[in-house]
Structure 1
Amino acid sequence: MPLLYVPLFLITLVYFLYRHFTNKLDYWRKKNIAGPHPIPFFGNLKESALRKLPVGLLYKKFYEDFPEEKIVGIYLMKTPAILIRDLEIAKHVLIKDFDMFADRGIKFGEKDMGANLFHADGDTWRVLRSRFTPLFTSGKLKNMLHLIDERAEKFVEYVDLITKDNTEHEVHSLVQKYTQATIAACAFGLDMDTYGQLADTLKRIDKKIFTVNSSSILDMLYPGILKKMGGSKFPKEVKEFFFDLTKIIISQRQGKPTERNDFMDLILALRQKEIQCRTKNDDNLILDMNDSVISAQSFVFYAAGYETSASTMGFLLYQLALNQDIQDKVIEELDAVLKKYNGDLSLEAISELTYMGKVFDETLRMYPIIDKLKRCAQMDYRVPETDLTIKKGQIVIVPVHGIHFDEKYYPNPEVFDPERFSTENVAKRHSCAYMPFGLGPRHCIGMRFAIVQSRVCLAKLLSRFRVARSSNTKSFCEFSPTRLVLYPEGGIKLNFVRRS
C-alpha cells in the first residue's frame, strides 16, 4: 500500500521544488523592467552555470541585447538583480552614492579568509582599506622595484635559454613564471629559485583559486548562506596553505619588519599598531591583525598580482604579434627611453613609456581581466531618472566587458587601437567608459603595482625579443568558461624572435 504513495510524493516534491525555484522569476515583469527571459533554477545564468560561457561574457550579451534600456532586470539563479547599462547610473553606484553600495555582496566566514581587502564588507573593509592604502604609495613601490627588476631579468634570461632550441611557446603560462616569482618575492620575501617545490605547490593552489566552483552557485541561490554556515568560496587547501606560509614567515622574522621592504614587512609594521576605525556611532572598531587576518591579505595580494598581470601581459603580447606596426612603435619608444636612462628602469623611466601605456590600456579595454563589477545595496535606493527602487540587499552588476565594447564609446571595438587612449580621445569619453581596475573607493588598490610589474617585464623582454605569430597562433582568442577571470582557452602560442 505505501508504494502507491511514492508517485504522489515525487509529484508533490517536484511541484514544490518548481515553485521554490520560480516564485521570484516574475519579479522584473511585474515592475515592467526589461530583461532576458529566465528559466527555472538557472535564472539567466544557464550557460555560465553549465560552464559553457564565462559569466562576464554572458553579462556582455545582456548588455548588447537591450541597447535602449538604462537598466536591465536579470536573475542570478533565482535571485533578482540589476544590470546597469547607463554610465551615469553606474557613476552613482560606484562613486557618487558609494556609501549605499559599499559592499560587494560576496559574504563568507572571516575565519575562512573572508576578512581580506577584496571580499570584506562593512566596517571590516573600511578598516583594512584605510590601513593598507599607504602600503601602495610611490615611495613603497620604489622600495620594491629592485625585487621586480631582478625577477624580470631572470625571466628574460630564462626566455633566452628556452628559445634557443624552440622559438614557439605558450605565452600565458610563460609569463606566469615571472608574475609568480615577483609576487612571491614582493609578498612573502621568497625566492622561487631556492624553493624548488614551492613553484609546483603554488601552481596547484592557483588553479584552485581561479577555477569556478559550486560555492558561487550556492551563494547566488541563497545569498549569505556561506557566511551563515561558516563556509568559504575557496577550498580548504587554499586557506591552509596561506595560513601556514604566513605563520612561517612571521616566525622567521620574529614578528617584526626586516629591511626587505616587501609586503610582509609593511604589514608587520602595521601589526605593531592598533588598527582602529571610527564608525558612524562614534564607537571604536578594532581589527586585530592576527595571523588569520594577515594570511587573508597575503592571499588576496598574491591572487590579484599573479593571475591578472600574467593574463594582461599575455594578451598584450598576443596583440603585438598580430599588429607588428604597433610593436614597432613600442620598441622604438622603449629603445629611446632605455638609452636616455642608460638601461635603468627606474619609476621615472617607466613613466616615460607613454605609448606602451596606451597599448596596456587598450589591452585591458579588449581583455578586461575583471570583466564585471558587483555591488550590493545597503538600503533601498531610488535609481536616478527612473521609477525603479533597488531594494536593500539586491545585487547590482556593472558589465565592464559590455561597456568596453560599446560602439558609442569605442568605434570598431574589435580593432586593437592604442590611440583610443590619447589624451584627446580620453577627454572626449565618459569617465566611466573605462574601468578595468574598477572605479570609486573600491577600485583596485594594487593598480599601480600591477602597472609597474607589467611594464618592467615587458620592457626587458621587448628590449631583447620581438613576438610574432606562429603556425599555431589563432586569429581569434576564446575564453575559458571555468575561470573566475578572463583567461585564454587553450593558451596563446607565439614565436619569440631575438632582436639583432
Structure 2
Amino acid sequence: MMYLLTERGDKFVEYITRITEFNKEQEVHSTVQKFTQAAIAACAFGVDIDTFDQEHEKLQMIDRKMFTVSFGRELEMMYPGILNKIGGSLFPKEVAAFFLNLVEHVIAQRNGEPTNRNDFMDLILNLRKEKHISGPMMENDDTERSLDITDEVMAAQAFVLYSASTMGFLLYQLALNPDIQDKVVAEIKEVLVKHNGEMTLQAVLDLSYMSKVFDETLRMYPIAPDLRRKSSSTYKIPGTNITIEKNQLVKIPILGIHHDETIYPNPEVFDPERFSPENIATRHSCAFLPFGVGPRHCIGLRFAQVQSRVCLAKLLSQFRVEPSNNTPRQFSYEPRRVVLYPKGGLPINFIKRH
C-alpha cells in the first residue's frame, strides 16, 4: 500500500501549500485529519476520497459518533457484556451501517474479486477466495480455528484501521522543540538520499530517530487514556493483599503509567531519548502501552506507524512548524472524546522551507 500512502502524502503537502498562502496558522489536529481520512479511505476501504479540496460532512459525522462518549459506552464499561445481551452496541447504528455499506459497495464494484490495487480490501478478498481463515490465534497455541469472511467481518476489520492519528500532538511538540525538529529533518534528508529520493517502506523503517519521537509522543499523549480487560484467572498481586478474581474487570490507566515519575523522570518534558534501546531495556515491557500489549494489542499499530511517518517525512521536507501567537503551552482534554483530543485545538504555524 506504500504507493497509496505516498500519493496521499504528496497531495497533503500540496494542500498545506495552498492553505498557508493565506494563513500560516492552522489548527494542527483538524489539518492532519485530512491526510489520515484520505489515507485510511484509500488503503483500508479502497476508495479515493478527496478530503483536501472539499469537506466531507459524512466522514466528520462518523468521526464524531465513533469517538464521542455515549451512555451505551459508559454502561458497557460498568457492566461488560450487557449491550450484547440487550441487543445494543458500543457505536450508533449509522456508524456500523456506514462501514458495512462502504465495504459492500467496494465489493460490488470489484465483482467480489481482488484487483491490482493491493489495498486492504484486495488482501481480504484474496483470503475470502480461500473461503475462511484458519490458524493458531495466539503464540504457543496449536488449536486450529476458522472464521468465515462475511461482508460484516470485512467491514469490522477495515473499521479497526479507522483510528485516530497522533501526528497532531507530534507536530505540536516539534513546534515547541525546534532542536528536536532539526534532528528529525536531518534524518529525513539523510534517509531520502540513501534511498534515491524515494519514500519506500525500507526508508520509513530507517527513520530511527523519528521512531523515538513517535513513541515519545504516544507516551505523553496515548491515543486511549486507559484500557479495560477481563482477567482470565484468579491472581494475587505479589507483595500485596490484593487478589484479582477470575472474570473481574481490570482498568489499566495508560495515561497514568506513561506519566509516572518513577518510570519516566520529568514526564512533562518531551524527550525522545527515553526510547533509545538502552533506556527501553531498563523498563518493564508494560511501562509503554499506547496500543495495548499481547494478543489483544491494536491490529492497526503498524499501519498507524507507517502512514504517520510517510506523512511527516513528506511534510517536514517542505515545511517547518513553529508556535503561533495562539499556541498554548498548557491545555486540557476534550472530556467527551473517547480518545485524547485537545480542548479548543492546537494552532501552530506552517512555514514553507526555501
TM-score normalised by length of structure 2: 0.93
Aligned to 1:167: 24
Deviation, 1:276, is 4.0
Which residue identity lines up with residue 67 of structure 2 in the other structure?
Answer: F
Alpha-carbon spacing, 1:255–1:468, altered in 2? closer, same or farther (3 Å): same
Which residue identity lines up with residue 213 of structure 2 in the other structure?
Answer: V
Q: State how far apart, in whole Å, the 2-side matches of 1:195 and 1:406 are.
A: 39
Alpha-carbon spacing, 1:387–1:399, altered in 2? closer, same or farther (3 Å): same
Deviation, 1:476, is 1.1
How do 1:95-114 and structure 2 match up within 5 A? Answer: none
Partners of 2:175 and 2:322 within 8 A in 1: yes
One of 340, 356, 360 as aligned partner of 2:194:
340
Alpha-carbon spacing, 1:195–1:450, altered in 2? closer, same or farther (3 Å): closer
SS at match of 2:291: coil
Q: Does 1:275 align with 2:137?
A: no
How do 1:44-193 and structure 2 match up within 5 A? Answer: 144-193=1-50
Which residue identity lines up with residue 180 of structure 1 in the other structure?
Answer: Q
SS at match of 2:56: helix
- Which shows bigger deviation, 291-300 or 412-421? 291-300
Partners of 1:278 and 1:285 within 8 A in 2: yes
Q: Does 1:301 align with 2:161?
A: yes
Alpha-carbon spacing, 1:325–1:340, altered in 2? closer, same or farther (3 Å): same
Aligned to 2:56: 199
SS at match of 2:299: coil
Deviation, 1:444, is 2.0
Unaligned runs of 5+ residues in structure 1 are 1-143
Q: State how far apart, in whole Å, the 2-side matches of 1:235 and 1:469 are.
A: 38
One of 318, 342, 351 as aligned partner of 1:488:
342
Alpha-carbon spacing, 1:198–1:476, altered in 2? closer, same or farther (3 Å): closer
Which residue identity lines up with residue 61 of structure 2 in the other structure?
Answer: R
Deviation, 1:195, is 11
Which residue identity lines up with residue 33 of structure 2 in the other structure?
Answer: Q
Q: State how far apart, in whole Å, the 1-side matches of 2:290 and 2:40 are.
A: 20
Q: State how far apart, in whole Å, the 2-side matches of 1:196 and 1:251 are.
A: 27
Deviation, 1:498, is 0.8
Deviation, 1:352, is 2.1
Aligned to 1:259: 116
TM-score normalised by length of structure 1: 0.66
Which residue identity lines up with residue 294 of structure 1 in the other structure?
Answer: M
SS at match of 1:453: helix
SS at match of 2:348: strand
One of 324, 335, 338 as aligned partner of 2:178:
324
Alpha-carbon spacing, 1:430–1:378, altered in 2? closer, same or farther (3 Å): closer
User: For residues 219-265 of structure 1, what are the alpha-carbon distances to aligned partners after superposition, in whole Å with 9 as ceiling and x for unaligned?
Assistant: 24443221111110111110111111111111111112111111111
Alpha-carbon spacing, 1:192–1:220, altered in 2? closer, same or farther (3 Å): closer
Aligned to 2:81: 224
Alpha-carbon spacing, 1:195–1:469, altered in 2? closer, same or farther (3 Å): closer
Deviation, 1:286, is 4.2
Deviation, 1:346, is 1.2
SS at match of 1:463: helix
Deviation, 1:301, is 2.0
SS at match of 2:114: coil
One of 277, 280, 287 as aligned partner of 2:147:
287
User: For residues 325-350 of structure 1, what are the alpha-carbon distances to aligned partners after superposition, in whole Å with 9 as ceiling and x for unaligned?
Assistant: 11111112222222232321112222
Deviation, 1:397, is 1.7
SS at match of 2:21: coil
Partners of 2:161 and 2:303 within 8 A in 1: no
Q: Does 1:450 align with 2:309?
A: no
Partners of 1:192 and 1:198 within 8 A in 2: no
Which residue identity lines up with residue 377 of structure 1 in the other structure?
Answer: S
Q: Does 1:405 align with 2:263?
A: no
Q: Does 1:414 align with 2:268?
A: yes
Partners of 1:212 and 1:483 within 8 A in 2: yes
Alpha-carbon spacing, 1:194–1:338, altered in 2? closer, same or farther (3 Å): closer
How do 1:33-52 and structure 2 match up within 5 A? Answer: none
Deviation, 1:419, is 1.3
Aligned to 2:250: 396
Which residue identity lines up with residue 40 of structure 2 in the other structure?
Answer: I
Unaligned runs of 5+ residues in structure 2 are none
Q: State how far apart, in whole Å, the 2-side matches of 1:400 and 1:349 are.
A: 31
Aligned to 1:464: 318
SS at match of 1:378: coil
User: For residues 367-394 of structure 1, what are the alpha-carbon distances to aligned partners after superposition, in whole Å with 9 as ceiling and x for unaligned?
Assistant: 1112212210234333344443322321
One of 92, 95, 105 as aligned partner of 1:248:
105
Identity of aligned residues (%): 60
Deviation, 1:198, is 8.5
Which residue identity lines up with residue 307 of structure 2 in the other structure?
Answer: Q
User: For residues 34-87 of structure 1, what are the alpha-carbon distances to aligned partners after superposition, in whole Å with 9 as ceiling and x for unaligned?
Assistant: xxxxxxxxxxxxxxxxxxxxxxxxxxxxxxxxxxxxxxxxxxxxxxxxxxxxxx
User: For residues 308-365 of structure 1, what are the alpha-carbon distances to aligned partners after superposition, in whole Å with 9 as ceiling and x for unaligned?
Assistant: x2xx111011011111111111112222222232321112222222211111111111
Deviation, 1:424, is 1.8
Which protein is richer in helix relative to its size?
Answer: 1
Q: CA RMSD in A?
A: 2.2
